[in-house]
Amino acid sequence: MKTYRYILLGALAIGSISKSFSQKGYLELTVHAPNTKNSLVTVTAPIQGYYFEGNKRNFHLDTLSFKRTQQIPLDGLSIISISNDYREAKLIVRPGQHAEVSFLANGDLSIQGDNAQGQHLYNQITADNTRSRFEELDVSPTVAGRLLKLDSMQQLDHHAITSLANKGQIDPDFTKKLKSESEMYYRLLWSTDLFFTCRSLVYGEDPNTSKVNPEFVTAWKAMYKDIDDTWASSPFFTLLMSRYSSLLSIGNAYERENSKPWALTELEKLKPLLKDRLLEYTWANFIVLGLSNNENERVWLTNFDEFKQRFPNSPIISVLTPALKQVEDYHAKLLIDTPGVIFMDNTAQYTSLKDLMKGIKGKFYYVDLWATWCGPCKAELQHSIKLHDELEKIGFTPLYLSLDNEKANEKWKEMVKGFPLKGLNMRTGEALHKGINQEVPKFTGIPRYLIVDKNGDIVNWDALRPSDGSALIKQLQSYLK
């Protein structure tokens, strides 16, 4: 087990990927989700041992038993993710095995099959995406202190894994892979903490005048010193590379109104530093990231042509080809009016959110503060689109309030129609934008979500995100009582 000193030096061992891929076959996967509101199940599996977000299989549960068994093709020992109704489980599996995953009504997760105890531990270790946990490291103001805390957290998980292995409850290959994934998780946790510590530098503050201790930037760079294609086997891969792209923004001019899609801008910072499989799968995952965020600029078609020229034999090409059609579909939507999309262009008269909400009071609003240049905002909007009918059903009207400036007005209107964002859509004037910066408590950036009652009072200044799914619906319903 590596100590924090080795982590700082970027020497974290991730475990090698088998190059033979000779063990091909199927996993027999049973998914059970009693009382689910959505019968759709999505399984994401690697390609030749490397994580690829675009390699998804969808199927529906039986409407009576809420259960279904499917065969999932695998190339040897693999990590797959299974999602249903905003819930996710990850499994470390190999061909010839059977696994049963149950998403229970009370939010618990049940896993049966080979290495079941280890599967549960894996999901416990990686239960969150590190955004809600990184602050545990911030008890120390120094790199060394935070890494000591990080190491102690990882040691606890390592002991739990070793205990299961010593009892014979998980096999050696599973043990090795689980330890590898634990280390990848803590690498992401560390990178997430460094991102938020250095966020002002990432978004344009001069490093020479910044209050951020330079040792944090040095530690962040050290983390990515020894990156190689073994990283690409982990589901944390895309997030790790996104954090790497943020690191590369430090010291470079940052332009919010960049005309290129956010994911493409992030990718272009990474491409010169990567090669071979690491570049191939980083590139492919960022294409998927951009398309999933509805970054539907035609430049993605050109980018995909470049990808095919660089990797003409890539197995990813056949998977991505139909996905690129959505770019064409997006532009077709711009030619027609979309029912339910309402533009309100009178925000110039307002100087604060409180004034705005009093001006349109009479409904319960779920307010989404976003902008066309904000990648995380657009990722959340994909969940908002799916939740629209549910929000309207419980009595909430979505209000999408864009912080874009006047120069981005046409881009904003195009994106609202192309997504589409059904509900009220407004773009802040200069005065309202300044008011929001001063008015929202602990406002560190977007996306940010508010809950407003019928009287126009903002009753929650930091509501749950659309990606929180059913938890958000419950939170909204609590304000209707």
DSSP per residue, 166-228: HTTSS-HHHHHHHHHHHHHHHHHHHHHHHHHHTHHHHTT--TTT--S-HHHHHHHHHHTTT--
pTM attached to this predicted model: 0.72
Q: How far is CA 128 from CA 56, 124, 185, in A?
A: 21, 9, 10
pLDDT in tens, 427-437: 998 888 888 98
- What the block records as the tokens of 398 is 């979505």
Q: What is the CA radius of gyration of the chain?
A: 23
Average pLDDT (87-111) is 93
CA separation, residue 320 to residues 82, 300, 303, 331 (Å):
20, 11, 12, 18
Kindly tell me if the per-residue pLDDT of 143 is higher than 90: yes
Cβ-contact 377, 421 below 8 angstroms? no
pLDDT in tens, 144-200: 999 999 999 999 999 999 999 999 999 999 999 999 999 999 999 999 999 999 998
pLDDT at residue 197, as a whole number: 95
Helix, strand, or coil here: 110? strand
Q: Report in angstroms the alpha-carbon separations of 435 from 348, 360, 463.
A: 12, 17, 19
Q: Tell me what percent of the residues of the chain surpass a pLDDT of 90.
A: 63
Distance of alpha carbon 349 from the chain centroid: 36
Between 10 and 120, the higher pLDDT residue: 120
What average pLDDT does the chain have?
88
Burial class from Cβ neighbours inside 10 Å (0-12, 13-18, 19+) for residue 352 reads: middle
Dist CA 89 CA 112 (whole Å): 12
Using CA atoms, how far residue 125 sits from 152, 164, 454, 456, in Å, is 14, 14, 42, 42
Please check the confidence at residue 334 and state whether its pLDDT lies above 50. yes
Cβ atoms of 93 and 74 closer than 8 Å = yes
- pLDDT value of residue 293: 73
Q: What is the mean pLDDT of residues 413-417?
A: 87
What pLDDT is attached to residue 204?
Answer: 77
User: Which is it for strands 67-75 and 78-84: parallel, antiparallel or unpaired?
Assistant: unpaired
pLDDT score for 206: 75
Taking alpha carbons only, the member of 312, 317, 262 closest to residue 292 is: 262
Encode pLDDT of 200-245 as tens digits: 899 877 777 778 999 999 999 999 998 988 899 999 999 999 999 9
Q: Six-digit token pair at 374? A: 């904000």
How far is residue 467 from each of residues 135, 447, 478, measured CA to CA in Å? 21, 12, 18
pLDDT digits (tens, 9 = 90+) for 369-396: 999 888 788 888 988 999 999 999 999 9
Query: What whole-number distance in Å separates Cα of residue 463 and Cα of residue 477?
Result: 12
Give the span between the Cα atoms of 253 and 206, in whole angstroms.
Answer: 9
Domains (ranges, CATH) in the chain? 24-125 (2.60.40.4150), 341-478 (3.40.30.10)
CA dist., res. 240 & res. 285, Å (int)? 12
Identify which of 280, 279, 320, 278 has the alpha carbon closest to the alpha carbon of residue 300: 320
275's tokens: 């090669």
| Residue-level pLDDT at 327 | 82
Among residues 237, 33, 287, which one has the least CA distance to residue 129? 237
Give me the pLDDT at residue 28, please: 97
State which amino acid sits at residue 155. Answer: Q
Residues 6+ apart with CB under 8 A from 88: 81, 82
Tell me: the pLDDT tens digits for 300-319? Answer: 989 999 999 999 999 999 99
Q: How confident is the model at residue 4 (pLDDT cuts 50, 70, 90)?
A: very low
Which position has the token pair 């998403």? 103
- The whole-angstrom separation of Cα 403 and Cα 431 is 11
Task: Check: CB of residue 283 under 8 Å from CB of residue 306.
Answer: no
The pLDDT assigned to 6 comes to 39
Question: pLDDT tens-digit profile of 421-467?
Answer: 999 999 998 888 888 988 999 887 899 999 999 999 999 999 999 98
pLDDT in tens, 22-45: 468 999 999 999 988 889 999 999
What's the pLDDT score for residue 203? 81
